[in-house]
Amino acid sequence: MYYVNRNQIETILNQIGDVNSGLRRVAAEWDGGLLQGLIQERCLHLAIEVVTDVGSCLIDGFIMRDAGSYEDIITIIHQEKVFEDPALYAMLTELVGLRKPLVQDYFSWERKALHPMTAVLPDRLEQFAARVRGYLDQELGAGLPG
């Protein structure tokens, strides 16, 4: 029997709306200024945390193999068919690869440049959320608590 905390996963997935609002606004109004650069950084960082936190919840709840890295979280949930789209897999892998530059090497992050992922990530995050919800419904039943 699996224990998957659907409420926790849903709470995390619900953060995507705010992250996407920030990303879309920055992409639409980019001026290379410090404030927009910082907003972009934080939104990218939160996107990484959302994806990896949800992935960790799924891995733990469904007793999937242990992840050794952030990239491994994405690989495991892809292999377990939480999502199957190779383009989504590639983008999420690229996204979590930004964690070290954003969190540890933040002093060398280029804040004046619009990151190429900023404009396309919102649609991919929505796709990720839809696939996670679909996977939970498939594995646990629609709307049933985990």
Burial class of residue 135 in the structure, from the number of CB atoms within 10 Å of its CB (0-12 exposed, 13-18 middle, 19+ buried)? middle
Task: Find the catalytic residue in 99, 111, 131, 133.
Answer: 99
Single pTM value for the model: 0.95
Strands (E), 1-146: none
pLDDT tens, position by position, 87-111? 999 999 999 999 999 999 999 999 9
For residue range 42-74, list pLDDT tens digits in order: 999 999 999 999 999 999 999 999 999 999 999
6-140: CATH architecture? Up-down Bundle (1.20)
- Catalytic site includes residue 99: yes
Exposed/middle/buried for residue 71 (C-beta within 10 Å: 0-12, 13-18, 19+): middle
Domain assignments of the chain as residue spans, ordered by start: 6-140
Structure confidence by residue, pLDDT tens digits, 123-138: 999 999 999 999 999 9
